Structure 1
Amino acid sequence: MSPQDFDPGQLSESQQLALGTYTSVTNQEPSAAIPLLQRSEWNVEIAITKFFDGEAPDPVAEARAALPASPPPPQSIRRETLLNGAPSNLRYPRSPPRESAPRIVAQAESQQNYKPPLLLAILFTPFNLLYRLFSSSFSLFGYLFPFLPRLLPRLSSGSSPARSRTRRRALNPRDTAARFTREFEEEYGDHPLRFFENGYAQAYDLAKKDLKFLLVVLISPEHDDTSTFVREIFLSQEAVNFINDPQNNIILWAGSVQDSEAYQVSIALNCSKFPFAALVVHTPQDSTTTMSTIARITGLQPASAFVAKLRTAINQHSQALDRVRATRNEQQATRNLREEQNSAYERSLAQDRERARQRREAEAAQKRAEKEVRAMAEAKEREAQMLEQWKRWRAQSIPEEPGPNVRDITRISIRLSDGERVIRRFAEEADIEELYAFVECYDILTASENTASATEPVGYEHKYGFRLVSPMPRITYDVHAGGTVGSKVGRSGNLIVEPIIVEEDDEA
């Protein structure tokens, strides 16, 4: 089957699984991945190693490839969450099992003390005395046989938490680290090393998260070689330069075994001799654990040998960490791109929603305006109808003009708002409102319409939209002031109709 025209349906289920795993890790096209997988006998781990490290001639593999094809052995798939450091579909060449580096959370002795009630304390007093006697005897044996105190904690570490052999006050991890740094500087002076300013668990988590090397240094102030180790090896210029080099990605955590946390770490890392240094790192190629101890340095040795062991261990594991970093960076870039796309989509969706909201508000405002216009038009139309009905009804009660034989009259000349002049006689005892009603109903009166059937509109309160004014001198005859025509105007008068609609609108 040529790789140019291969058919995935012709592959077996295990071969399809191997092809999918290989392409998901290397992002290589299937047409280019088929030849390499065939040369690797469909072994995904060997193919991935050849892809990243380069392919060299392998006589054994070529000879085995010449044998009849056999179904590939099932691959053990190691699934690990991103929190532990590697994607679930990534595979690495198998390596010898390493010593696990557990995560140690400091347990303060002060938090473990328990004061029983007085009655229980009295009941258990004999047992307490026996325990103290036994402890004193055991201390004597420990002095005579120094290997016993170290052997017994190692045997009992799995069943009970480690306890420090000192009576130093237990602090929280950050304060413990600050106390160690202060005591270290008081003993050995200023130094260029940068200790991690928190507990071992925090340094452990940071090294695991950022894929860095955690250098754990444990010292015992009571040990004879401690001062020599610190001055000639740990603080030597070669070791300081190597540890502080940012390219080595080293997180330095140090502690004294007189502190509870450092003592627990020494037991977890199987420290059997002081001074002690261990290099812990994330090992994705190891199928048994995620954080392993890749180097252990105990006792006194030249500074060059100390640095050489650290450099060798770092160089052996840097390539695997670089692959994990590249995978993480690619995944992070994919997540960032997806988040940016989601953010752009959300912004676009928010803009569309805002435009839709504005459009709905504009349409609603337009509908309200149109409704108000219609309502105003309908109100004006109803007002005009009610006014017309009122005028027809009011015209019925306007008395006829007095005849020539009536002596007590008032002759009034009225200039209407359209410029027409009307001369009419009114009885002197007629109310001034009769004059206003005549002007309002003049068009009905002149039309000679039959208004006998007109009724007063219900709920309508008529207001005159004009005022009658005498020009010389200017006198306004207000309808609300009341009075008779004779008392207000006299025997005769010349009046002008002035509209007041504009003035009312201005006041509103």
Structure 2
Amino acid sequence: MANASADIDIAQLSEEQQLALQQFTAVTDQELKDAIPLLQRCQWNVQIAIARFFDGEPADDPIAAAPPPQDIRRQETLLNGLASPRSSTSSSRLRRVEAAPRIVPQPENHVTTQAPLILTLLLAPFNLVYSLFSKFFRFTGWLFPPLTRLFTPGRTSTSASRRGASGRKALNVRDTAARFIREFEEEYGENRLPFFENGYAQAFDLAKKDLKFFLVILVSPEHDETTSFIRDTLLSQEVVDFIRNPDNNIILWAGNVQDPEAYQVSAALKCTKFPFTGVIVHTPQVSSTSMSIAARIVGPAPANQYIVKLRQAIQAHVEPLNRVRAQRTEQQATRNIRQQQDSAYERSLATDRERARKRREEAERKAKEEKEALERAQAAAKHAENLAQWRKWRASSLPPEPAAADTKDVVRISLRMPNADRVIRKFAADAHIEELYAFVECYDVLQSGDEIIDVHEPDGFEHEYGFQLVSPMPREVYDLKAGGTIKERVGRSGNLIVERTDLDSDDEEE
């Protein structure tokens, strides 16, 4: 069934099966060729498949399909065909590998739901009778303890698994580990043992992830050999150095079976005698996710024998772990190279994008400048055209110079033009000062002698004089905004200088 499932097209799976496959691979990061057979063996139940992925599939699971006989025969033929006795010994050891369970302590609090009010009222008489009988049997059990064990044989194990053998308060796994380490140091003094300060399941998962040896030690204070084992064996310098040696890759977790978690671990590992030591390790030769019990050390043992048994268990499984480590290192190196290539590609792509952005901004800036320059040129041309039309229109509207005989109502003005020419002209005494400014503005048009016919004022054009009239001594500016007639502002005669006021703006435009 597993061989057939490896060739299944994902498109042939139903929508629920595809969803289950997606959830399973997202949690476990397993390949599709391995994920589909496991989900099929679990009836496409994602929770069961994830639990088996992390805990390992039990050998007697009725749902899980047995391994193909052909693979077993091939493995036995290859193992039996090896000539060296060491290979035959290792093959027999592999056949005796026992799966190690992953234990998660059961929660102490159970969620209860309240029954409806009508049902509670109907069952109230039965609850009262049950309460009276339970109190009576509890009192009888207190008087005669053997009767309690006779009528409730399974209650002792259940209650012990929940509250521990000594009724110790149940804590979370991290606090339980801290309490064990604190009591251990209070009883046996400070030590250098690297206890894992968390739960069994967390140490189990860490050992599987980092391919380390998981050393489990379970002790019971009620056994007489516990103190001698800890003082003479576990705390001996040789054992401490062996456990702390980083080359051995050991994660040490210890527990007191009076605690609920350690009690559940002892029941799952089938401990028959304390103190108990178990070596759990990942066995890739069995399955890509399996954790197995490599060695059991039951009861006390001298320090040298204890180290020999631990070293034998480690040496028997170090070679497969090294192969997996090498494979993971190669995969990690390949992944790092791919990440470096992706990072270099992203940097190159970012550089190209930045260059393209700068080129685009530069092109937009140049286009904007050209557009603004064209608009300024068009505006200047339009302004010059309107100014020339306005000058012609204003020149046509200027009154002629008064005759020389009318000396009483005539003002004689001498003007020094911006080109240093001296111009003398007579104006009517009651003429507005703006007429003097208009004469200066339209002097070139008047001097040209061109006939001005049918010229009107340009629409929407607001003319502004780009000069001012100033008397040299004493200096006085005859501002146009002050208004008044020429006689009132200048007098009957005057010498004026035409000073340009638009030269600064012209220089800025240039």
Please tell me the TM-score bracket, short chain as reference: 0.7 to 0.9
How do residues 237-386 of structure 1 correspond to structure 2 at under 5 angstroms?
237-287=237-287, 290-386=290-386
Measured after TM superposition, the shift of residue 237 of structure 1 is 2.4
**Cα 1:135–1:330, aligned 2, differ >3 Å: closer, same or farther?**
farther
In structure 2, the residue matched to 1:499 is 500
Measured after TM superposition, the shift of residue 127 of structure 1 is 6.4
TM-score (norm 1): 0.74
Paired residues of 2:161 and 2:260 also in contact (CA < 8 A): no
In structure 2, the residue matched to 1:95 is 94
SS of corresponding position for 1:95:
helix
2:393 matched to 1:393?
yes
SS of corresponding position for 1:396:
helix
SS of corresponding position for 2:95:
coil
In structure 2, the residue matched to 1:409 is 410
Structure 2: runs of 5+ lacking an equivalent: 1-72, 85-90
Paired residues of 1:273 and 1:298 also in contact (CA < 8 A): yes
Paired residues of 1:100 and 1:289 also in contact (CA < 8 A): no
**Cα 1:251–1:377, aligned 2, differ >3 Å: closer, same or farther?**
same
Measured after TM superposition, the shift of residue 266 of structure 1 is 0.6
In structure 2, the residue matched to 1:465 is 466
**Cα 1:134–1:398, aligned 2, differ >3 Å: closer, same or farther?**
farther
Measured after TM superposition, the shift of residue 285 of structure 1 is 0.6
Alignment partners' CA distance in 1, 2:386 and 2:240: 105
CA deviation vs aligned residue, 1:288-345 (integer Å, no higher than 9, x gap): 9611101011112222222111110100101111111111011111111111111111
In structure 2, the residue matched to 1:88 is none
**Cα 1:135–1:416, aligned 2, differ >3 Å: closer, same or farther?**
farther
In structure 1, the residue matched to 2:196 is 196
How do residues 417-456 of structure 1 correspond to structure 2 at under 5 angstroms?
417-456=418-457
Structure 1: runs of 5+ lacking an equivalent: 1-42, 50-55, 59-91
**Cα 1:351–1:455, aligned 2, differ >3 Å: closer, same or farther?**
same
**Cα 1:352–1:126, aligned 2, differ >3 Å: closer, same or farther?**
farther
Alignment partners' CA distance in 2, 1:104 and 1:349: 49
**Cα 1:98–1:57, aligned 2, differ >3 Å: closer, same or farther?**
closer
Measured after TM superposition, the shift of residue 502 of structure 1 is 3.3
SS of corresponding position for 1:457:
coil
In structure 1, the residue matched to 2:56 is none
Count of residues in Structure 1 that have an aligned counterpart in Structure 2: 419
**Cα 1:475–1:93, aligned 2, differ >3 Å: closer, same or farther?**
farther
The root-mean-square deviation of aligned C-alpha atoms, in Å, is: 3.6
Alignment partners' CA distance in 2, 1:249 and 1:493: 112
Q: Structure 2: which amino acid aligns with 1:468?
A: L
TM-score (norm 2): 0.74
Measured after TM superposition, the shift of residue 165 of structure 1 is 3.0
Alignment partners' CA distance in 1, 2:453 and 2:74: 111
Measured after TM superposition, the shift of residue 430 of structure 1 is 1.1
Paired residues of 1:229 and 1:300 also in contact (CA < 8 A): yes
Alignment partners' CA distance in 1, 2:507 and 2:146: 112
Alignment partners' CA distance in 1, 2:128 and 2:349: 74
2:103 matched to 1:104?
yes
SS of corresponding position for 2:255:
strand
Alignment partners' CA distance in 2, 1:283 and 1:141: 48
CA deviation vs aligned residue, 1:9-47 (integer Å, no higher than 9, x gap): xxxxxxxxxxxxxxxxxxxxxxxxxxxxxxxxxx9989x
SS of corresponding position for 2:284:
coil
Measured after TM superposition, the shift of residue 469 of structure 1 is 1.1
Alignment partners' CA distance in 1, 2:288 and 2:489: 119
SS of corresponding position for 2:322:
helix
Alignment partners' CA distance in 2, 1:161 and 1:174: 18
Greater shift in the superposed pair: 275-284 or 187-196: 187-196
Q: Structure 2: which amino acid aligns with 1:277?
A: T
In structure 2, the residue matched to 1:83 is none
Paired residues of 1:162 and 1:267 also in contact (CA < 8 A): no
Paired residues of 2:277 and 2:297 also in contact (CA < 8 A): yes
SS of corresponding position for 2:397:
coil
Q: Structure 1: which amino acid aligns with 2:131?
A: T
Paired residues of 2:218 and 2:275 also in contact (CA < 8 A): yes
Paired residues of 1:415 and 1:422 also in contact (CA < 8 A): yes
Q: Structure 2: which amino acid aligns with 1:103?
A: R
Paired residues of 1:94 and 1:286 also in contact (CA < 8 A): no
Alignment partners' CA distance in 2, 1:173 and 1:342: 42
Measured after TM superposition, the shift of residue 276 of structure 1 is 0.6
Alignment partners' CA distance in 2, 1:475 and 1:105: 104
Paired residues of 1:45 and 1:93 also in contact (CA < 8 A): no
SS of corresponding position for 2:94:
coil
Alignment partners' CA distance in 1, 2:137 and 2:345: 71
Q: Structure 2: which amino acid aligns with 1:368?
A: K
